[in-house]
Amino acid sequence: MNSNTLRKTFAKHLLGDRAYRYWVLKRLFGSQTPAEKAYRVTRAKNGVGFSAPDAPVLSPLAVKVIGSGALTRLEDELLKWRLPKYWRQFTETRLMNHPARKLPPRAATKNTKVKKEAA
């Protein structure tokens, strides 16, 4: 699938499925740092969670969905307009190391052995 197809498929799911919209909203909110959640602003440029202009609008909606589980019709329509831009966060594939996996020790080079012996 190319990126244009992924973007369109993501938008189609968002527009047609309220449960999916709410899930995406909660996942994005969950990606915010604790400070960003508390103050409803985005400061870190880490490529996850809400953008700076969306944080003050979408954070309260996420809290509302997490709490009561429902939004008004107008709030739900707002999600249809704002969430499609986050398609990359839900369609990228990345190679990640398992958190419990320890990285192999760095190989000792000739230079490091000499330094240790000199010390």
Q: What is the pLDDT of residues 60-102, one digit of tens each?
A: 999 999 998 889 999 999 999 999 998 888 876 555 566 666 6
Structure-token pair, residue 90: 């839900």
What global pTM score does this model have?
Answer: 0.70
The CA-based angle 50-90-63, given to 5 degrees, is: 40
Nearest to 51 by CA among 86, 21, 80, 84: 86
What confidence tier does 25 reach under pLDDT thresholds 50, 70, 90? Answer: very high
Q: Does the CA dihedral 62-63-68-74 come out positive or negative?
A: negative
Q: What is the radius of gyration, based on Cα positions, of the chain?
A: 21
The Cα–Cα gap between 119 and 3 comes to 55
Report the pLDDT value the prediction gives residue 105, as an integer from 0 to 100. 64
What confidence tier does 54 reach under pLDDT thresholds 50, 70, 90? Answer: confident
Cβ atoms of 42 and 69 within 8 Å: the answer is no
The pLDDT of residue 52 is above 70: yes
Highest mean pLDDT among 3-7, 23-27, 32-36, 46-50: 23-27
